[in-house]
Amino acid sequence: SELSYARYGKDNVRLYKVHRHEDGSQSVVEMTVRILLEGDIETSYTEADNSVVVATDTQKQTIYILAKQNPVTPPELFASILGNHFIDTYSHIHAAHVNIIQHKWTRMTVDGRPHPHSFFRDGQEKRLVEAITRRGQGTSIRSGISELLVLKSTGSAFYGFHRDEYTRLPEVWDRILSTEVECGWHWKNLSSIAEVRSVVPQFDQAWEKSRNIILETFAKDESASVQNTMYKMSDQILAAVSLVDKVDFALPNKHYFEVDLSWHKGIKNTGRDAEVYAPQTDPNGLIQCTVSRK
Ligand SMILES: O=c1[nH]c(=O)c2nn[nH]c2[nH]1
């Protein structure tokens, strides 16, 4: 036998950091971090040679130390700081894969004003970062959004699709559209931590612009299909963020089925008369794309 793939580290490292501001208000960040390392680590698998193992606990301790010593936002910066630390500290480690999931803590509005230190979890939406730092090659970053659940009650159609003897789905000109957005935008390779730092102002801007483009396009587009709407989102994100070279989407089509009630006293609840629907947990459509800059 031979080892064809080896990557190890600590997953699900939960991290919270508070910032205490001059004016007495406080800000909080909560994230879940995954580190996976690659390098000259084969002998730890093949020969029980633990001398090459930077223990996963060491990796966890390192996350907390670097979180104390450095900013943890934007998450793209913190992921790059972590990745570069492992490359710079351990000569036998050649690549560090750092994934960060940032959770939502939205500041409460109390008595009409932002509360100085109280927050709530307004949804399961996550902000994502996947950063790969390779020795001598800089850092490749995919930023993203996941679990952003959206629904529109009209403004979506699906007709003109291929029909044959296997096709039962009726064409529809007015349907509910719901999906849980998983989207990523890939930054051009950043050659050093210095270049990452020079891009720092653009990470939050890109997240804000991408999120707004997704929500506004979802709402405004007279959608002919999930495929076409997600392409329009991707095209706009590429136009809005110059340092991004490709955008990917994976959108489940979360179906809502009409409930035919005509058996009960002839109730009309289909087509234009449909008001009561049965939301479907599964199966769901799944539409994926990657759109690249020409
Ligand atoms: O937007 C849609 N795209 C599809 O590919 C599809 N297939 N069934 N319904 C669908 N809706």
pLDDT of residue 152: 98
pLDDT under 50: residue ranges of the chain: none
- Can you give the pLDDT at residue 153? 98
Q: pLDDT value at position 37?
A: 98
Q: Is the CB of 178 under 6 A from ligand 1?
A: no
Assign 56 to helix, strand or coil.
helix
Between CA 65 and CA 72, with CA 70 as vertex, the angle to 5 degrees is 95
Residues annotated as catalytic (active site), given as ranges: 10, 56, 255
pLDDT for 15 equals 98
**For the chain, percent of residues with pLDDT exceeding 90:** 100
Amino acid 278: pLDDT: 98
What was the pLDDT predicted at 281?
95
Question: Residues 164-216: pLDDT tens digits?
Answer: 999 999 999 999 999 999 999 999 999 999 999 999 999 999 999 999 999 99
Residue 17 CB-density burial (10 A; 0-12 exposed, 13-18 middle, 19+ buried): middle
**Prior bond to 283 cis, omega within 30?**
yes
Q: Residue 141's pLDDT is what?
A: 98
Q: Which of 253, 280, 284, 289 to mutate to test the pocket of ligand 1 (most atoms within 8 A of CB)?
A: 253
Contacts 24+ apart (CB under 8 A), 67-71: 67/15, 67/17
Give the model's pLDDT for residue 237.
Answer: 98
Does 285 sit in the ligand 1 pocket, CB within 6 Å? yes
Distance 237 CA to ligand 1 centre (A): 23
Give the Cα separation of 28 and 41 in Å (integer).
37
For every residue of 229-246, DSSP letters joined together read HHHHHHHHHHHH-TTEEE
Q: Where do we find the tokens 């008595």?
A: 111
**C-alpha dist (Å) from residue 128 to 73, 145, 170, 259, 279:** 12, 6, 37, 38, 28
Tokens 């972590």 belong to residue: 82
Q: Show Cβ contacts of residue 137 under 8 Å, excluding neighbours closer than 6 positions.
A: 189
CA of 257 to the centre of ligand 1 (A): 14
Q: What is the pLDDT of residues 154-171, one digit of tens each?
A: 999 999 999 999 999 999
pLDDT for the residue numbered 277: 98
